[in-house]
A and B are shown apart, each in its own frame.
Chain A
Amino acid sequence: MAWNEIVCTIFLALGCVVTLTGSVGLVRMPDFYARLHTAGKTDSLAQLLILFGLVFVTPGPVDEIGGWLIRVKLLMVGMILIIAAPTATHAITKAAHLSGLKPWTKTDPGGEPK
């Protein structure tokens, strides 16, 4: 196993673990806002980790433009994700807030109709 593959594996594994925690949170959290909170954050991070890991195993020699083209593309996808994913989460949350969804609290558990 070459060094780049090891680095990639670590990043991918990290990404998968983070996604998994997000998914667990999605199921376990009590209301809409908390669920979106876990899902939105972990997804952004996990996707970044996975993309970054993939940069290391991109085929093509390091000194050639072809290989770097793909690497740069991967990083650009990451950039878009950094901007787009939180914005989407924000938009959804705001829409929910504007349409009158109350957040869950310990004293008032009726935040979301089950």
Chain B
Amino acid sequence: MTTIVIIDTLLLLLVTATAIAIIEVRSLYASAMLTSVYSLLMALVWVNMHSMDVAFTEAAVGGGISTILLIGTLVHLPREEKKLKKRLHAPAAITCALAGAALIYGTLDMPNFGDPMAPIHHYRVPEMMSQTVGFINQTKGKQPAPEGFDPYAYRTFNGAVQGIPKDPTDTAWRETSIIAQRGIMVPQVLTPGHEPHHEAGHHLHPPDDFNGHIPNSVTSLLAGYRGYDTMFETTVIFTAGVSLIMLLRRPRREGEAQKSAPMTDQVILRVVTKMSIPFILLFGLYVITHGELGPGGGFQGGVVLACGFILFALVFGRPALYRVLPPRVTDVLTGVGVLIYSGTGAACLFFGGKFLDYSALNAASPGEGEALGMTLVEYGVGITVSMVMLTIFNQLAEEQSK
């Protein structure tokens, strides 16, 4: 029993209790608030499992935005769900029991929780992580490798450093490597000429690469190896925003004033909001920019930015927000973010690389190109996420003021 498992068990008990309460409680407001609690507990679970980025996203998205959206919707819906005749829905319970039993049956052959020998830890991902790393000092930029460090070596379990065999077909080294032994994701460097598990004709990304620029490997995976997924993830958000505009926006009539009651009598709220909004926005930008170094990135930062604007709209009224950010501007900005992302990808094409091959952006220093591309992409994500979240809130709120 490790600490992680003990804390995990306690947290998951709480989470399960909350989940049952969410389903069973009749008041929809209570249900929405419990959803927020649930998300925050989930964020704790994920911190406990060392998944900082996911925890951050869950706290911002699940605990923050989702709850705001739910409450915003509930304002013009009945407060409680209808009283059900039967407490237990038997067909549903049986279906769930069967599906659950099947899923549990499937877990019986899985590697143990936290088992470093699980295939996922030592098959592809270590290679991914080890492919590229440079010697970078956060403050001073690129540094030469230290004395006696063999960049083409791997570390064995007992800490000894050995060279990778020159014969590409010899993969035995992986058995003794620290990767295979303990599933450790240690950044390593492969020789450009030595490409295990790799067809001929590929050029590897240069060894002087982004893992050094971007210590947060979640970000480097998100924007690098799986950058294409992330582009579409941003598009999903964009689609949601456009769909909401399409479904909820009313045709604007001339001279129709936007009705929204600013909280004029709430002096404390107004003062505190005025004080804190600049900091919230600053924090959002910080999170977007800092995503390469630590937990955070475009999504989390974008959501924080959106929360700043939403707070403004809540306290000072939406007309005030529309004066700062007219709907036309937010509409355009939602698209601009995705365009920055896909435009970066397309720019790589124009510079002679493949789509989203950021290293093509800077011919002199491919690593710098990678870092540049990822930064651009993160900003694109941030813009789209913040503006779409704001648009979604605006659309739901516009409904309510009618």
Residues of A within 8 A of B (CB): 80, 83-84, 87, 90-91, 94
Contacts and interface: CB of A to CB of B under 8 A. Distances in A.
B276 A90 contact: no
A87 B275 CA distance: 12
Contacts of A94: 266
B193 to A, nearest CB: 37
B237 to A, nearest CB: 27
Given A87-B272, A90-B269, A91-B266, 13 more contacts: A80-B276, A80-B279, A83-B272, A83-B275, A83-B276, A84-B272, A84-B276, A87-B268, A87-B269, A90-B268, A91-B268, A91-B269, A94-B266
16 contacts: A80-B276, A80-B279, A83-B272, A83-B275, A83-B276, A84-B272, A84-B276, A87-B268, A87-B269, A87-B272, A90-B268, A90-B269, A91-B266, A91-B268, A91-B269, A94-B266
In the A-B complex, list the 9 residue pairs whose CB atoms are closest, starting with the nearest.
A87-B272, A90-B268, A91-B269, A83-B272, A87-B268, A83-B276, A87-B269, A94-B266, A83-B275
B163 to A, nearest CB: 33
A20 B266 CA distance: 31
Most buried by B among A83, A87, A90, A94: A87
A97 B349 CA distance: 61
A84 B269 CA distance: 10
Contacts of B266: 91, 94
- Provide the main secondary structure of the chain B interface: helix
A44 to B, nearest CB: 14
Contacts, number: 16
Interface string B138-169: 00000000000000000000000000000000
Contacts of A91: 266, 268-269
Contacts of A80: 276, 279
A23 B269 CA distance: 26
B278 to A, nearest CB: 13
Interface string B242-272: 0000000000000000000000001011001
Contacts of B279: 80
A25 B224 CA distance: 50
Contacts of B272: 83-84, 87
Contacts of A87: 268-269, 272
B370 to A, nearest CB: 24
Contacts of A83: 272, 275-276
A75 to B, nearest CB: 14
A24 to B, nearest CB: 18
Contacts of B276: 80, 83-84
A19 to B, nearest CB: 15
A32 to B, nearest CB: 14
A93 to B, nearest CB: 11
A26 B399 CA distance: 36
A12 to B, nearest CB: 15
Nearest to B138: A66
Nearest to B268: A90
A34 B330 CA distance: 43
Contacts of A90: 268-269
B314 to A, nearest CB: 10
A82 B216 CA distance: 31
Nearest to B276: A83
Contacts of B275: 83
A90 B276 CA distance: 16
Interface string B97-109: 0000000000000
A29 to B, nearest CB: 19
B146 to A, nearest CB: 19
Nearest to A84: B276
B289 to A, nearest CB: 15
